Structure 1
């Protein structure tokens, strides 16, 4: 009879142990982002940082097209299609001047917000954009 009383407690302790093991096994960086694990190596993915790096590269009027292209492709190297969807969400819609190709607007212009897809289409050559589009066909 006493063993039947202990059974629910045993299951509760075992469940708590499994839960704590899972919590401690999931590693996080200093910003609280969970690490992605691939085999034995661990790499961190932060969609906000990637979105900011893309934004900073594309908004600069001082960058040459080759510098922008290089930064965009380097930043997106190793980003999977699923991760790219997170980057798009993190990027959101930001002001972009399609006439001047940057974030500066004349006093008579109304700032217009565009998605990452539009930013990339404006900033990259057609062949470079199509190359990215082949990597992320669902989103570009």
Structure 2
């Protein structure tokens, strides 16, 4: 066989092998990322906005429990666990009075910041908190 014919065939087979390897790696990366990126790629989701809605619902003492509950569940409707993680980070730790259930403190009290998890557990009934916890088990 002529060596001038062997070289192009060898290069062609090597190129095909590289192409198949690249395609298989891309496929693996897409499968692995599907779980990590679930819900996060939605550009219309704004974690800071959801965190602000939750804070505004829970900070006031003059809201009824039903109003707080409805606002909390409305704000979290359609929020995935990955998105809830971002909401929790955006919420951060904020001043919360565990005695009165709001952001007001008496002169003798030392204000203390608490994360979203505590805010929700204090503001919701046990059943409602368990429902949220079943939706976001890693965060609550």
TM-score (ref. length: structure 1): 0.70
Q: Which runs of 5+ in 2 are unaligned?
A: 1-39
Aligned partners of 1:44, 1:91: CA distance in 2, in Å? 18
Q: Which residue of 1 aligns with 2:44?
A: 44
Q: Which residue of 1 aligns with 2:67?
A: 67
Superposed CA deviations along residues 93-123 of structure 1, whole A, max 9, x for unmatched, are 0000000000000011000100000000000
- Give the number of the structure whose residues are more often strand, by fraction: 1
Deviating beyond 4 angstroms after TM superposition, the runs of 4 or more aligned structure 1 residues are: none
Q: Which residue of 1 aligns with 2:17?
A: none
Q: Which residue of 2 aligns with 1:94?
A: 94
Q: How many residues align?
A: 101
Superposed CA deviations along residues 59-97 of structure 1, whole A, max 9, x for unmatched, are 011100000000000000000000000000000000000
- Give the number of the structure whose residues are more often helix, by fraction: 2
Q: Which has the higher contact order (CA 8 A, sep 6+)?
A: 2
Give secondary structure in 2 for the equivalent of 1:94: strand
1:128 aligns with 2:128: yes
Q: Which structure has the greater CA radius of gyration?
A: 2
